[in-house]
Amino acid sequence: NAGVTQTPKFRILKIGQSMTLQCTQDMNHNYMYWYRQDPGMGLKLIYYSVGAGITDKGEVPNGYNVSRSTTEDFPLRLELAAPSQTSVYFCASSPRDRKDLAEAFFGQGTRLTVV
Amino acid sequence: EDQVTQSPEALRLQEGESSSLNCSYTVSGLRGLFWYRQDPGKGPEFLFTLYSAGEEKEKERLKATLTKKESFLHITAPKPEDSATYLCAVLSGSARQLTFGSGTQLTVLP
């Protein structure tokens, strides 16, 4: 099993550009999450999904959008990139809604720099 | 607003030198306090959940304890493979998601 796969691993964007961070999982998990982690900080929840066709906002959703058309994929869209979106982005999946992340599987992360 | 403060920011230990990491918190109605390990370039790995003051959990060389205001992660006789960033997080009664501290970067030298 590949687990949770994120692409790309690194990206540099110019201010105002847009991009999509890809996330796919092959474990048939219903729950998927997007987090961002700023340097020397913990995680902040951006968006999450409890199943195909259902998404909801987390703590820091502004400037981002998501979709969940299939169980496997949960892409994160950045529109009009801003320097404040420079961060490391983690996608995670879980077989259950575990706010403590006890059963969550994480991708390797996408390091995004907006210049 | 929930707040979590971890100290120290960084800690260097010699192999076998036991120590403790601190996580102090301010929440309205604690539902749980959580410890994670994060290796460079990876997502956090869940270690422990503590629910009430006086509770303790152990895993190999790690032991987590909880009081009404803080939690400690005790590391006994650490090894170089214990080197990582250790994150603490809390979930309060009204919160939909975790509030994380900034972490303690632990380096264990051989």
| B91·A92 Cβ contact <8 A | no
Q: Which of B101, B96, B95 is nearest to B73 (CA)?
A: B101
As a whole number of angstroms, the distance between CA B60 and CA A77 comes to 41
Which residues in chain A (29-88) have CB-CB distances under 8 A to chain B? 40-45, 58-59
Give the separation between CA A23 and CA B106, rounded to whole angstroms.
30
Which residues of chain B have a CB within 8 Å of the CB of A41? Answer: 100, 102-103
User: Once rounded to an integer, what is the mean pLDDT over residues A76-91?
Assistant: 96
pLDDT in tens, B2-20: 899 999 999 999 999 999 9
A2 pLDDT higher than 80: no
Percent of chain A at pLDDT > 70 equals 99
* A18-53 confidence digits (pLDDT tens): 999 999 999 999 999 999 999 888 899 999 999 999
